[in-house]
Structure 1
């Protein structure tokens, strides 16, 4: 799928990639979701399916947080307070920890709700707000949303498919 260049394409990309991801998640036995045998987000690390969902939820929540702060003319610490862009592996570990008490079904619900929040956020914005003005440095809001939703959903789906193949689940 091409990189979205307008509001409608962004909505379609998120919905399409997320629905494909949900389909992959639905075929995973719950008892396998806590096993750490999936390639991690930082070099030489492993994670569980639950960690992967936590990661996606964490980034989605950051998108909502960034937007809320910007709308309220507050300062946004990108990517997150206490983290720099070159510390994304540490940020991934934070997301895993944030949701470690949640089981697979709860995590899937949280991700679902986060995706709905993001789609609602997009719906409230004009195409001009999303794609015609820089929002963070040179990036538009639409591109920042896409970087943290549609693209990672597609990446996660690929990771899960590879994991399923390695675990004889296809």
Structure 2
């Protein structure tokens, strides 16, 4: 995804696209990913390190309020540059991989290892915040580019 973005000229990387969605440029999409990494870090720390039940998706929000959460995330990053958010995302991606590397082979994939994951697995949460979210972001960026040719 980052390679794809880097292959775009700087004008496109910083372009504000015409869309009704809150993600109006590449920075917005990357900021969304970065903040969802932060949500994963919090859930991991509370649920896997402290062995408590984390508030999901985030304190003050329910799963039915993802639109409001994502809008609030968008608002938080409006004064952050694309360069800065790329650096933050790169660092948080690296930190996420460090967490994954610390896990045993069984921990991410077995239900019941961490009480807070309920009927799911830790791998499910990690995939939702990493690979599946990256796929969403890449498709989102490509769609914005195609819709605004």
Q: TM-score range by the shorter chain?
A: 0.7 to 0.9
Kindly state the Cα deviation for residue 130 of structure 1 after the two structures are TM-superposed: 0.5
Q: Distance in 1 between matches of 2:101 and 2:54?
A: 22
Secondary structure at the counterpart of residue 128 of structure 1: coil
Question: Is contact 1:50-1:103 (8 Å) kept?
Answer: yes
> What's the TM-score once normalised by structure 2's chain length?
0.86
How does 1:75-154 map onto structure 2 within 5 Å?
75-134=53-112, 135=114, 136-154=117-135
Task: Say whether residues 1:72 and 2:50 are aligned partners.
Answer: yes
Query: Deviation of residue 96 (structure 1)?
Result: 1.5
Residues 53, 108 of structure 1: 8 Å contact kept: yes
Judge conservation of contact 2:17–2:144 (CA < 8 Å) in 1.
no
Q: Distance in 2 between matches of 1:130 and 1:39?
A: 37
**Structure 2, gaps ≥5 residues long:** none
Which structure's relative contact order is higher, taking Cα pairs within 8 Å and 6+ residues apart? 1
Change (3 A) 1:28 1:98: farther
Give how far 1:100 is off: 2.1
State yes or no: 1:57 paired with 2:37.
no
Paired residues, what number? 144
| Deviation larger for 158-167 or 60-69 | 158-167
| Higher strand proportion | 1
* TM-score normalised by L of structure 1: 0.76
Q: Per-residue deviation at 1:99?
A: 2.1
Task: Measure the CA separation in 2 of the matches of 1:130 and 1:59.
Answer: 18
- Listed as ranges, the gaps of 5+ residues in structure 1 are 1-20
